[in-house]
Amino acid sequence: MTDKIRTISGKTLHPVGLGCMNLSWAYGTPPSHEDGIKLLNRALDLGYNHLDTARIYGGGKNEALIGEALKGRRNEFFLASKCGIVVDGPKRGVDCSPDAIDQAIDESLRLLGTDHIDLYYMHRFDPKVGISDSVGALAGAIEAGKIGAYGVSEWSAAHIREAHSVHPVGAVQTEYSLWTRNVELAVLGTCRELGVPLVAFSPVGRGALGGVLRDPSTLEESDLRTKMPRFNAENWPHNLALIESFVALAEEAGVTPGQLALAWVLSRGDHVHVIPGTTSLQHLGDNHAAWDLPLPEEVLSAADALINEDTVAGHRYHEAIRPTIDTEEFEPA
């Protein structure tokens, strides 16, 4: 890897950013408030300069944590957040109407303790609202100086193109890892063609490719992975066998499995960024260092052949979630 930085919205960034979700939500009991603050500050000390959060992460708790933890260090990092997913008691769904976007931006600014968010995503596609209306609201926020750019998350290539024709898209965020390749159907190439950065979330397969998780039945009930088919009793034994071979490949190459997983995603194009999340200070450092590791092409190719859409067992989401995903899907085998 020759270029040491990549860009989003004209800002030069380290290609390994930090996904902050699991400091507040999603993978079982989050770390203590104090440990979350410690990890965020350590991230900046290590050189992370791209932090990613969203309103849904703990119902605003994650945005508030970042605002508190990094008060006084706001000029050291590129800040991304998201709106659109609504989880309010019985009210659940996606709302990217202009009014909802305007209100969400103001609340995010308040929680984050800042007057400017560098990148603000629509977290999911809202088929009830015209793309020009949603993008128009975000363009208005850019003009007002509240956000620097807008992005979209888990959108199809066709809808990305439509949004981009209304106002240039600052970034597209979607799941991308060795075992989740949906973006390769259309979105990866579309982003390259349009000059739009692709930000990969869950680049270590929701932790599975890190090689630490052995038995998903030990996960807390509140852990999202307990509802994901790849971690269930039917599919996990097959996937674990793949992961064990992957761990051996990484060890032979002298890197951690997580580093190999990140390096593979980053090798997919010079417009690709990764935002792995972690609650471990050790993994925080390992992940950031993945960009500087000289991995031979044959190692990346071996990883590519070992774990992919054809070899992994199970869908990435359970059936109730799948209709909310706009990104192109592989045809069932």
Amino acid at the residue 10: G
User: Of residues 27, 48, 57, 150, which has the active-site annotation?
Assistant: 57
Instruction: Please determine, for residue 91, whether its predicted confidence score (pLDDT) is greater than 70.
Output: no
Residue 225 is predicted with a pLDDT of 97
pLDDT tier, 2 (very low <50, low <70, confident <90, very high otherwise): very low
Instruction: Please determine, for residue 211, whether its predicted confidence score (pLDDT) is greater than 70.
Output: yes
Please provide the average confidence, as pLDDT, over all residues in the chain.
96
Greater confidence (319 vs 274) lies with: 274
Task: Among 92-96, 100-104, 190-194, 304-308, name the one with the lowest average pLDDT.
Answer: 92-96
Q: Where are the alpha helices (H) located in the chain, listed in sequence order?
A: 33-46, 61-69, 98-112, 131-143, 157-166, 187-194, 236-253, 257-266, 281-289, 297-306
Residue 106 is predicted with a pLDDT of 98
A 10 A CB-CB count for 333 gives 5
Cα–Cα distance, 50 to 78 (Å, whole number) = 5
Beta strand 11-13 pairing with 6-8: antiparallel
Cα–Cα distance, 169 to 88 (Å, whole number) = 28
**Residue for token digits 């190692």?**
299
Domain 12-324 top-level CATH class: alpha beta
**Residue for token digits 């450092």?**
285
Tens of pLDDT along 103-158?
999 999 999 999 999 999 999 999 999 999 999 999 999 999 999 999 999 999 99
A 10 A CB-CB count for 31 gives 15
Residue 1 is predicted with a pLDDT of 40
Average pLDDT for 182-196: 98
Give every CB contact of residue 116 below 8 A, 6+ residues apart in sequence.
Answer: 109, 145, 146, 147, 148
Within a 13 Å sphere around the CA of 186, how many CA atoms are in the beta-carbon half? 13
Contact at 8 Å (CB) between 69 and 36?
yes
Amino acid at the residue 244: E
Q: Which of 190, 141, 196 is nearest to 170 (CA)?
A: 196
Tens of pLDDT along 296-311?
999 999 999 999 999 9
Active-site residue, 57 included: yes
Secondary structure of 48-100 as H, E, C letters: CCEEECCCCCCCCHHHHHHHHHCCCCHHHCEEEEEECEEEECCEEEECCCHHH
Q: Which of 90, 206, 194 is nearest to 151 (CA)?
A: 194
Average pLDDT for 27-39: 97
Residue 333 is predicted with a pLDDT of 58
Instruction: Please determine, for residue 40, whether its predicted confidence score (pLDDT) is greater than 70.
Output: yes
Contact at 8 Å (CB) between 283 and 257?
no
Q: Determine the straight-line distance between the first and last CA of the chain, rounded to whole angstroms.
A: 35
For residue 214, the 8-state DSSP code is -
